Structure 1
Amino acid sequence: MNAVSALVTATCIENRTFDEISLGDSARITRTLTQRDIELFSAVSGDMSPVEMDADYAGTGMLHHLVAHGMWGGSLISAVLGMQLPGPGTIHLAQDLRFYAPIGVGDTIDVNVTAVEKDALRHRIVFHCCVRNQYGVDVILGKAEVQVPLKKIRCPHVDLPDVQIADHRRFRAMLSRVAGDSSITVAVVHPCDESSIVAVKEAAAAGWIEPILVGPAEKIRRVAGQAGVDISAYRMVDAAHSHAAAQRAVALVTSGEAKVLMKGPLHTDELMHAVVAEPGLHTGRRLSHVYLMDVPSYERLLLVTDAAIHIAPTLAEKRDIIQNAIDLAYMLDIGAPKVAVLSAVETVNPAIPSTADSAALCKMASRGQIEGGVVDGPLAFDNAVSKLAANEKGIDSAVAGAADILVVPDLESGNMLAKQLTFLAGAEAAGIVMGARVPIILTSRADTSRARVTSCAITALILLAGQARPAAVVES
């Protein structure tokens, strides 16, 4: 056999016909059950039983029977029959299985099928099926009847696709830290569209906010009616238009009647102008924006900054941008965050100003002008989030491949990066503008209700964790 023929044979699977199979012939596979297996089967079946999805409970070996026995073990039996013996062209007719022991996360099982009966008239074979764990215990026993092909079939072996479940478990973990009865008073500015009203209702129902609706009262009531939301229990402050609503809401905060601002469908500039015009909300620190990104394919919460405030930040502004992001990371229990200062390349090039800024920022961090984080740059995006990419380029860095914070060169690159992570990588995003004395929740009309409620919960978490720190502006 030449090299080409060997390669073709290795990348193809071939069946065994009815006449080629004798009683006693067998095939087997070995697999280890992981939490990811449970999540994938739950997503496919729609069975989201808490027993299935709880990794801690699953680790005890007591899984929901549908996943541990029926779906996972049964599917592996089908895989042996369909891929090995008889192989391609097999039609599964019947299966009678009995389940004798649980399968836990980390258990390794051996799946074996053996031909025990042949029906020459109908070209059917009955296989004895045995699934045994690493301790030699039979966990599944039974029989499967299949229709066996009469002709040889050879087909290419296709690798399974890489499946990603967008479960946003990092945001879920943060939300679990906020008690449902620790609500904060929020001045909601000009909530005159259905999405804003629904977001208010959901956040209030979750116990995270006590809303004060600020804006044209009749219009708000009309929109709430159209959305089917009862707002009779919420305090209403009438304001003729969005500009007046922003001013009234800021006044509520400065007087202490509200602890947080939340943006409705008015222009961000209108609200921020009212905030900047109020000296009582200033901290002396530059405002800067941080996107909180729960990216399913990344191992940690990712903070992207600045993607909304500074169009082309100076070196001094970038210093504050980094310090604000580090402070936020600590509020979220991310200690000594790893900060990657991004550029197009990982070496300093005078023709690319962001690389020179990156080098200067690293020196500022080493001299104590930036505190609390591990700062490195310039780093290209791939080097910041992938150890493989960093290793291939010979980059020796504590930050490379493990960044918690990504510092972008300018607003355009930051905005595009955040939107790409959201719409192409399945990320869920909330955002924080650090630097004001009160949190301000900014929601976009394109945001999902989950993103809005998450933003409210994160705001409550920030208030609980950092009441003495400079406050923040939350955007989703």
Structure 2
Amino acid sequence: MSAGPVAHPRLAALIERARGQAAAHGAPRLAVVWPCDTLARDAVRAIAEAGIATPVLFGPAARIAALGLADGRFECVDTADDPAEAARAAVALAREGRVAALMKGSLHTDELMAAVVARETGLRGTRRISHAFLFDLPSYPKLLALADCVVNIAPDLKTKHDILANALDLLRTLGLQRPKAAIVAAVEVVNPAIAATVDAQALVQQAGEGQFGDARVEGPFGFDNAFSAEAARIKGLKSEVAGDADLLLLPDLNAANMLYKSFVYAAGADCAGLVLGARVPIVLTSRADSAQARVASVALAVLVGG
């Protein structure tokens, strides 16, 4: 009997691409911070088995050993029994270039990110830190990025500029020479009463001035005409981006996070996600993430950091 079709073939291809890069250049060292529950343990094993990265475990050796990870396969950096201390230790090694990426284990996101954004000892870059997901969506013809679903709650125009720039750089790293970005709001016309439409107009102008490099940026769009060329045609919009966007920039975390969960739970999507704008890529996992999403996110970190 032949194997059935892969549920999310684009994510599978992303993992395979990272595996090939690791095989050619060596599997990069991935700091897994506080792998102290069974989900984190299983993720560590899956990453190693996929051959895409070399997990380095940060946390108290006794806790890690109790989960069966002290079998000699994994390097362990023994820390105090404190997640914040494990995060600081991992960030310190990332600053020194001794690990290529970070991954959240079973500590709280705030505990990891506090170490990342610390002014003197963290991993801040020149732009504001943001997050992007790449979705393998059965109803869409290619991988589709969403930003920012995780980090920035109510971004102003300057923050949206950095979110957009980070996400476009991610897409170019993956080989898209001229990525297409749709700036999404409630409506597709500029309305001074809807700040997201005014911001969209400003971002399109900035793109026209070359601030985002080689990219096609359009907006504002309602979600319907960003996602569907037919919806845009019906509404009389002429667009190179509608129905063919590589990236949707959402107006705030509420809208972005709800769309992300709608894609996963209502539309059968799965995704890979990264924190961008720091000195190294960072994988933030959720307890609800699928095993494929965890491995694909690390694969994305390998490709971005490589």
> Do both share a fold (TM > 0.5)?
yes
Which residue in the other structure is 1:243 paired with? 84
Which residue in the other structure is 1:452 paired with? 294
CA distance in 2, matches of 1:187, 1:367: 39
Query: Over residues 22-43 of structure 1, what are the superposed CA-to-partner deviations in whole Å (9 max), with x where a residue is unaligned?
Result: xxxxxxxxxxxxxxxxxxxxxx
Of 189, 192, 201, the match for 2:45: 201
In the TM superposition, residue 360 of structure 1 has moved relative to its aligned partner by: 1.3
Q: Is the 8 A contact 1:326 1:372 kept in 2?
A: no
Query: Which consecutive segments of 4 or more residues in structure 1 shift more than 6 A?
Result: none
CA distance in 1, matches of 2:166, 2:209: 18
Which residue in the other structure is 1:263 paired with? 104
In the TM superposition, residue 230 of structure 1 has moved relative to its aligned partner by: 6.3
Q: Is the 8 A contact 1:305 1:408 kept in 2?
A: yes
More helix by share: 2
Which residue in the other structure is 1:132 paired with? none
SS of 1:262's equivalent?
A: strand
SS of 1:281's equivalent?
A: coil
CA distance in 2, matches of 1:231, 1:295: 38
Task: Go from structure 1 to structure 2 and tell me whether the alpha carbon gap of 1:447 and 1:360 turns closer, same or farther (over 3 Å shift).
Answer: same
Provide TM-score, normalisation by structure 2: 0.93
1:48 and 2:18 correspond: no
Which residue in the other structure is 1:393 paired with? 235
1:366 and 2:208 correspond: yes
Which residue in the other structure is 1:185 paired with? 29
Q: Is the 8 A contact 1:384 1:399 kept in 2?
A: yes
Of 211, 215, 223, the match for 2:59: 215
Q: Is the 8 A contact 1:339 1:399 kept in 2?
A: yes
Q: Is the 8 A contact 2:182 2:247 kept in 1?
A: yes
CA distance in 1, matches of 2:177, 2:121: 32
In the TM superposition, residue 280 of structure 1 has moved relative to its aligned partner by: 5.9
Note the residue ranges of structure 2 that are not aligned, 5 or more in a row.
none
1:173 and 2:17 correspond: no
Which residue in the other structure is 1:428 paired with? 270
Q: Is the 8 A contact 2:102 2:281 kept in 1?
A: yes
CA distance in 1, matches of 2:45, 2:160: 37
SS of 1:291's equivalent?
A: strand
CA distance in 1, matches of 2:63, 2:225: 50
In the TM superposition, residue 270 of structure 1 has moved relative to its aligned partner by: 0.8
Which residue in the other structure is 2:141 paired with? 299
CA distance in 1, matches of 2:54, 2:242: 42
In the TM superposition, residue 195 of structure 1 has moved relative to its aligned partner by: 0.8
Which residue in the other structure is 1:380 paired with? 222
Q: Is the 8 A contact 1:303 1:404 kept in 2?
A: yes
Query: What letter corresponds to residue 329 of structure 1 in structure 2?
Result: L
Query: Over residues 93-121 of structure 1, what are the superposed CA-to-partner deviations in whole Å (9 max), with x where a residue is unaligned?
Result: xxxxxxxxxxxxxxxxxxxxxxxxxxxxx
Task: Go from structure 1 to structure 2 and tell me whether the alpha carbon gap of 1:208 and 1:218 turns closer, same or farther (over 3 Å shift).
Answer: same
CA distance in 1, matches of 2:197, 2:71: 52
CA distance in 1, matches of 2:92, 2:203: 38
Which residue in the other structure is 1:90 paired with? none
Q: Is the 8 A contact 1:195 1:449 kept in 2?
A: no
CA distance in 2, matches of 1:284, 1:382: 34
In the TM superposition, residue 328 of structure 1 has moved relative to its aligned partner by: 0.5
Query: What letter corresponds to residue 115 of structure 2 in structure 1?
Result: A
Alignment of 1:91-170 (within 5 A): 167-170=7-10
Query: What letter corresponds to residue 208 of structure 1 in structure 2?
Result: I
In the TM superposition, residue 279 of structure 1 has moved relative to its aligned partner by: 4.5
**How high is the sequence identity, in percent, across the aligned residues?**
47
Q: Is the 8 A contact 2:275 2:283 kept in 1?
A: no
CA distance in 2, matches of 1:205, 1:169: 19
Query: What letter corresponds to residue 172 of structure 1 in structure 2?
Result: A
1:311 and 2:266 correspond: no
CA distance in 1, matches of 2:241, 2:101: 34
Query: What letter corresponds to residue 35 of structure 2 in structure 1?
Result: P
CA distance in 2, matches of 1:219, 1:279: 26
Bigger RCO of structures 1 and 2 (CA < 8 A, at least 6 apart): 2
In the TM superposition, residue 370 of structure 1 has moved relative to its aligned partner by: 2.6
Query: Over residues 283-316 of structure 1, what are the superposed CA-to-partner deviations in whole Å (9 max), with x where a residue is unaligned?
Result: 2111111111111110011000111111111111
Q: Tell me the C-alpha RMSD between the 2 structures.
A: 1.7
Query: What letter corresponds to residue 232 of structure 1 in structure 2?
Result: G
In the TM superposition, residue 232 of structure 1 has moved relative to its aligned partner by: 2.6
SS of 1:424's equivalent?
A: helix
Q: Is the 8 A contact 2:275 2:284 kept in 1?
A: no
1:335 and 2:182 correspond: no
Q: Is the 8 A contact 2:180 2:244 kept in 1?
A: yes
Task: Go from structure 1 to structure 2 and tell me whether the alpha carbon gap of 1:231 and 1:422 turns closer, same or farther (over 3 Å shift).
Answer: farther
Q: How many residues align?
A: 300
CA distance in 1, matches of 2:207, 2:94: 35
Larger gyration radius, structure 1 or structure 2: 1
More strand by share: 1
In the TM superposition, residue 367 of structure 1 has moved relative to its aligned partner by: 1.6
CA distance in 2, matches of 1:429, 1:452: 9
Structure 1 residues 440-449 or 273-282, which shifts more? 273-282
Alignment of 1:221-240 (within 5 A): 221-224=65-68, 231-239=71-79, 240=81
SS of 1:436's equivalent?
A: coil
CA distance in 2, matches of 1:330, 1:279: 29
